[in-house]
Amino acid sequence: MFYYQQTTEIKLLATMSVFLSDYVEYSPDDDPIYYLNINYEALSYFNLINNFQFSLPIYIVLFIVVAILNVMMIAIFWLFTFIFCPCLLKYRRSPALRFTHMVRVLFKQPIVGTMMANIPVVVAGGLLKWL
């Protein structure tokens, strides 16, 4: 059993598993003896996150921080490549970044696809709510 200790008195059971072994065939003459061992173990922070034991705002902040770190790493990689790439040093002027064109090409299809995928979900949710 793995638990999440919220306070000194409150422990929430996060996961539990049961393993059965050494079966003895039951007979009316014999009374088999079984032993019950219970092992409690606290979850680490990583396992607490994986088992969704924290509240929703913590996960929202966690995902925002991960997204910001990803964007920062991509920006650092892009700057490093732009500054130190030998093929770009021979040009006096770097090519212009056409942001609006890039947004139209990259974001139109995912937005349309997401909206189209949500149509059956919204219809099914509405029918379930109505019924």
What are the start-end ranges of the H helices in 1-55? 45-50
The residue ranges of DSSP E strands in 26-126, in sequence order, are 41-42
Give the amino acid at 1.
M
Other CB atoms within 10 A of residue 3 CB:
17
Tokens 């990803």 found at: 70
The Cα 47–Cα 14 span in angstroms is 10
Question: Over the stretch 72-106, which tens digit does the pLDDT of each residue have?
Answer: 998 888 888 777 776 655 665 666 777 788 788 88
Q: Give residue 89's pLDDT.
A: 58
Does residue 124 surpass a pLDDT of 80?
A: yes
Tens-place pLDDT, residues 21-70: 777 777 777 777 777 888 888 888 888 888 888 888 999 999 999 999 99
Residue 8: predicted pLDDT: 86
